[in-house]
Amino acid sequence: KKDFDIFYEDNDLFATVKSDWNSEKSKVDLIGSSNELRARIKPDFKALTYDVQVDRFTYTFKTYHIFRYYFLEGMKWEMFSSISTGHANCVNQDDHRKDVLVALVKDFRGLGPCYEVRVKDISKLRAAVAFIVCIMIKEDYKGLSVGLPAKRNTWGKFKYWLFDKGYTYEESLQVPEELIRQTIKAKMNMPTMKEAERLHKQHKKIDFW
């Protein structure tokens, strides 16, 4: 594990990814060509979730199930796949749009294989790149997974954050494949925000009459 560079399509330097790489808990900085901080990734004390600082915003990276389901809280981006497959999309939780596209390029300008990250909104590029770097780190270390989403009240969420140690990679392999598929299918088929609002209004109208 060592520092590496990220380039724009025209070969200009976007950022250098720097860390001491001692463990998954190590802080990771994305430093621009003018030595400015473009993003910072700070795993929590268990390296279960990561804080992702981009500009003045802080997002939370969650691995629900390693190699299968990732989430960037704050941006509302979900990835139901792994970048190791060579192609993946980050879908917006609210409207199901593919905000981020990731693909493996066999040879980038003679530098060898790399991941290509494309965004529809250029203002979200830093967050998108940081999200993909988080996934790379998690998959490289085969770190902990939060576990598939479950409904919890506020106290339940606090207890879960405080006491739960997460699932190891070996434990994640024991989760039934059918449960993973059903969970992902349910998430992908959830109504968009607009659809939910329409159904809510329709429901209210039916109740009124």
User: What's the pLDDT score for residue 150?
Assistant: 61
Average of per-residue pLDDT across 159-176: 78
Highest mean pLDDT among 50-54, 102-106, 148-152: 50-54
User: What's the pLDDT score for residue 206?
Assistant: 40
User: What's the pLDDT score for residue 205?
Assistant: 43
User: What's the pLDDT score for residue 192?
Assistant: 60
d(CA 90, CA 184): 13
Residue type, 84: S
Q: What SS3 state is found at 145?
A: strand
User: What's the pLDDT score for residue 188?
Assistant: 75
This prediction's pTM:
0.84
Q: Could you tell me the sign of the dihedral formed by the alpha carbons of 136, 90, 165, 158, in that order?
A: positive
How does residue 187 score in pLDDT terms, banded at 50, 70 and 90? confident
Which residues on adjacent β-strands are paired with residue 118? 101
- The dihedral over CA atoms of 64, 66, 67, 71, expressed in degrees to the nearest 10, equals 30
d(CA 136, CA 98): 20
> For all residues of the chain together, what is the average pLDDT?
86
d(CA 42, CA 131): 12
Q: What SS3 state is found at 33?
A: coil
Candidate from 38-42, 93-97, 123-127 with smallest mean pLDDT: 93-97
